[in-house]
Amino acid sequence: MATANACMYCAKDQRLTDVMTEICELEASILYLFKEQTYPGRCVVAYKNAHKEEIFELSDAERELFTKDVARVAKAVKTAFNAGKINYGAYGDKMPHIHFHIVPKYEDKPKWGSTFDMQPDEKVYLTEEGYAEIANKIKANL
Ligand SMILES: [Zn+2]
């Protein structure tokens, strides 16, 4: 079991900022834009109130708030980028702090009809302006 300071979501250190950038805080989570943008609009919703590793560790009220955040983000991303489908990824074997990958999928684009690649071989990185533009589009639809 990870201790709090071993966890990048709790420490919010460079391990986190290397791979994602904060968009905003939500009721029970922090919304991050994933820097690798093979799937335009891909982001992460991370539980913010404590280091929790499984959704069954949350009370019903905590889980309801967190799930509301996930749904709200999924709707915003789908709307902002006209995605065909949102994929929800919650894995975290090595980084178990509760977080969901919100991954918009597009017909005729990578991995449609299959599981998204956590780290695609050919990575897509944007400029700071590019990230800001996507973050603003998501925020405008929250
Ligand atoms: Zn944590």
Quick: pLDDT tens for 75-106: 999 999 999 999 999 999 999 999 999 999 99
- The alpha carbon of 105 and the centre of ligand 1 are apart by a number of angstroms equal to 28
- The alpha carbon of 84 and the centre of ligand 1 are apart by a number of angstroms equal to 32
- The alpha carbon of 70 and the centre of ligand 1 are apart by a number of angstroms equal to 18
CATH number at residue 88: 3.30.428.10
Domain around 54: 4-141
Taking only the tens place, the pLDDT of each residue in 37-46 is: 999 999 999 9
Q: Assign 26 to helix, strand or coil.
A: coil
Q: Report whether pLDDT(128) > 80.
A: yes
- The alpha carbon of 90 and the centre of ligand 1 are apart by a number of angstroms equal to 14
Instruction: Identify the pLDDT of residue 3.
Output: 53
Taking only the tens place, the pLDDT of each residue in 17-36 is: 999 999 999 999 999 999 99
- The alpha carbon of 2 and the centre of ligand 1 are apart by a number of angstroms equal to 8
- The alpha carbon of 51 and the centre of ligand 1 are apart by a number of angstroms equal to 4
- The alpha carbon of 46 and the centre of ligand 1 are apart by a number of angstroms equal to 9
Q: Report whether pLDDT(135) > 70.
A: yes
Q: Which helix (H) or strand (E) holds 52?
A: none
- The alpha carbon of 139 and the centre of ligand 1 are apart by a number of angstroms equal to 24
Instruction: Identify the pLDDT of residue 5.
Output: 74
Q: Total structural domains in the chain? A: 1
- The alpha carbon of 52 and the centre of ligand 1 are apart by a number of angstroms equal to 6
The structure tokens listed for 56 are 């069954």
Residue matched to tokens 């994929």: 87
The structure tokens listed for 32 are 């991050």
- The alpha carbon of 10 and the centre of ligand 1 are apart by a number of angstroms equal to 4
Write the single-letter amino acid at 18: D
Q: Report whether pLDDT(117) > 60.
A: yes
> What share of the chain has pLDDT > 70, as a percent?
97
Q: Report whether pLDDT(49) > 70.
A: yes
Q: Assign 101 to helix, strand or coil.
A: strand
